[in-house]
Amino acid sequence: MSGSTIKYHVTPGGKLTGQIRVTGDKSISHRSIMLGSLADGTTIVEGFLEGEDNLATLNAFRMLGVDIKGPDNGRVEIHGVGIDGLQAPADVIDLGNSGTSMRLLTGLFSAQSFDTTLTGDKSLVTRPMRRVTEPLTKMGASFTTSESGTPPIQIQGKQRLCGIDYDMPVASAQVKSSLLLAGLYADGQTCVTEPAPTRDHTERMLKGFGYQVQVSGNKVCLLGGGRLKATNIDVPGDISSATFFIVGACIAKDSDLTIKHVGINPTRVGVINILRLMGADITIDNEIDVGGEPVADIHVKYAKLHGINIPEDQVPLAIDEFPAIFVAAAYADGKTVLTGAKELRVKESDRIQAMADGLTILGITAEATEDGIIIEGGSIGSGTVDSHGDHRIAMSFAMAGLCADNEIEILDCENVNTSFPGFAELSNQVGLNLTVKDT
């Protein structure tokens, strides 16, 4: 099915009420397959996100000889092959739309004894990969890519990797994780220092699988040559998926919504911090620890928002949530200014330009800048916006329709299934008036 076949139509007038649980965390689901495959023993995963991106990771490891049963209602059984047990794939590995899979597996596969080729869909093969291939090359890895450094990536096996001490020029959890996965196989110590904190699911999960990881401030180190021990993983709800409902409840009058069992890892809660600065009514209840990850219920009520200058130290903690935050800014009183977010231009789409264009079509003054956006809050009108095949753009504009003056149509929504299968049904369950049209 081509990406242009699915459209969303949103009729205004809804409010979000009740209790829901969103799909499992995408980042944790990816890593559970990767580390479970490399572990000694059998790993059981509950709450696995059965979206296309995570299934791409799962299928990649099946191609490398790992016996994986499921997913069955979020349950996956991984029979690990050990750190050196992966086998050469018979074919090119197609990772679809998943940038996380591409970047992390480039690091992991650079240390194997066999050659691998990674490719993806029309969006993924335009995304920059030098940010991982360049530091991995310093470790001794060998790659062939396009002239511009984009996939397909041909990874040469039988390379001897040496640990490095790498200062990342741009904060990126994917780059950090790629280097750490390569570091599992490298001679000596691999250290990565970040300019700002990013999500730390890889470090937490490595520890959960019994691997020693040293974290000191923004620096993380590990020694190559260790083993991973199978464990059981309960994947919490994804805060990135919860964000659309959090923003919807913030902007729609009389909303009162509880989102149950959401991961609130401190490296991922930028969206809550930013929305609270804008005046949002968000409370965190029933906080517990599940497998090293903090989990809680998020309770959101409607509140009148105001524009802010978004603190740059929050940007890496909310990098995937900005399309939805921009919708909140569009409904806020006054001006919201984002800077220091250049990475948003090289996601599944140029998210800064795509959101600026869409908001402008809907009557909001939105000016894209080199590393951010300036949004003047106002009243969202009706119109047709293009998601550019980007799942987060599509879901953000769906929530924008809650309080619009008239109907909003969103084009090219097929890729919502990459991160949030069942989004439309769950949205309608809590009060959004969303119709899915397959053309």
Cβ neighbours for 362, distance < 8 A, ≥ 6 positions apart:
330, 380, 381, 382, 383, 385, 400, 404, 408
Instruction: Report helix, strand and coil shares of the chain as percent, to nearest 5.
Output: 35, 30, 40
Report the run of H or E that residue 132 belongs to, with start and end.
helix 130-138
- Residue 241: predicted pLDDT: 95
- Spell out, as residue ranges, where the chain has pLDDT lower than 50: 1-3
Domains of the chain: 3-24+237-438 (3.65.10.10), 26-234 (3.65.10.10)
- What pTM was computed for the model? 0.82
Residue type, 66: V
Q: What is the pLDDT of residue 328?
A: 98
* 320 carries an active-site annotation: yes
* pLDDT for the residue 196: 85
Rounded to whole angstroms, the Cα distance separating 230 from 227 reads 10
List, in sequence order, every beta strand (DSSP E) within 82-127: 93-94, 116-119
Per-residue model confidence as pLDDT tens digits over 157-173: 999 999 999 999 988 89
Q: At what angle do helices 99-109 and 52-63 cross, to 10 degrees?
A: 20
Q: Tell me the pairing of strands 219-223 and 293-301.
A: unpaired
Say what the pLDDT of residue 3 is: 40
What pLDDT is recorded for position 2? 41
Q: How do strand 67-72 and strand 75-81 relate by DSSP bridges?
A: antiparallel
Q: Where are the beta strands (DSSP E) in 274-371?
A: 281-290, 293-301, 335-338, 365-369
β partners of residue 384: 409
Catalytic site residue from 25, 121, 200, 320: 320
